[in-house]
């Protein structure tokens, strides 16, 4: 019985730790699109060393209210080091045109929709909840510059690093993040700042475990 309880507790801890490595890394709240309708969207990135099941995960805007949140659909998991996009689109009807607009290849795109979750160009936020209703990550942003996305970088503790967040307005690179333009919008869809290779994260995790064992 003790073994079973320990295994359950360990599984819950591992799941919680994995969730803690999911971060919102980019948001577009005011597309320019040069006359082409494109939706609001946000990007999440897995900074951890293992895949995370996204089944039952939900989002809300700046109100950070699980009761008002809506389901994330179309993507069931996020791999280690992977960045995926969620667009505001009823039943995913806008997925094909979104992919075409950005010329996406190999980037996973899901969707969400519902009352009250549109991202305001005057300033708003994105909140991410797991299947238990726990807040995983939340970001806020001010008034948008049309056609430019907001990006977020994080420090080693998982907190937003003020040195690495702002607007993506020009084509080029921000650290490891590749930026590009399409149809009047500029962003870095599918690439986030400072994502270690899964092998490197695993080695860091093993080093941390070894350190804890030596101290015990």
pLDDT above 90 coverage of the chain, percent: 62
pLDDT for residue 164: 82
pLDDT for residue 18: 55
Question: Does domain 19-215 bear CATH number 2.60.40.1260?
Answer: yes
pLDDT for residue 197: 52
pLDDT for 67-107, tens place per residue? 999 999 999 999 999 999 999 999 999 999 999 999 998 99
pLDDT for 151-197, tens place per residue? 999 887 888 888 888 899 899 988 778 899 999 999 999 988 877 65
Residue 4 has pLDDT above 90, yes or no: no
pLDDT for residue 162: 83
Q: What is the mean pLDDT of residues 60-65?
A: 96
| Assigned token pair, 48 | 């951890």
Q: 137 with 123: CB under 8 angstroms?
A: no
Residue 208 has pLDDT above 80, yes or no: no
When mean pLDDT is compared over 33-37, 104-108, 129-133, the highest value belongs to 129-133
């Amino acid at each position: 019985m003790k073994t079973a309880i320990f295994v359950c507790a360990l599984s819950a801890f591992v799941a919680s730790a994995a969730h803690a490595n999911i971060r919102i890394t980019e948001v577009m709240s005011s597309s320019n699109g040069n006359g082409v309708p494109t939706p609001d969207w946000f990007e999440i990135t897995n900074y951890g060393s293992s895949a995370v099941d996204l089944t039952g995960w939900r989002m809300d805007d700046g109100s950070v209210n699980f009761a008002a949140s809506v389901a994330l659909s179309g993507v069931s998991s996020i791999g280690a080091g992977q960045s995926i996009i969620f667009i505001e689109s009823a039943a995913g009807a806008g997925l094909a045109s979104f992919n075409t607009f950005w010329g996406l290849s190999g980037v996973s795109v899901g969707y969400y929709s519902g009352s009250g979750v549109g991202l305001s160009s005057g300033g708003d936020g994105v909140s991410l909840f797991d299947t238990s209703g726990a807040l995983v990550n939340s970001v806020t942003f001010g008034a948008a510059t049309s056609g430019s996305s907001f990006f977020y970088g994080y420090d080693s503790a998982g907190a937003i690093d003020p040195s690495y967040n702002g607007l993506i307005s020009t084509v080029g690179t921000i650290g490891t993040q590749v930026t590009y333009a399409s149809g009047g919008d500029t962003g870095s869809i599918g690439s986030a700042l400072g994502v270690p290779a899964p092998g490197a994260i695993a080695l860091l995790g093993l080093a941390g475990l070894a350190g804890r064992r030596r101290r015990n």
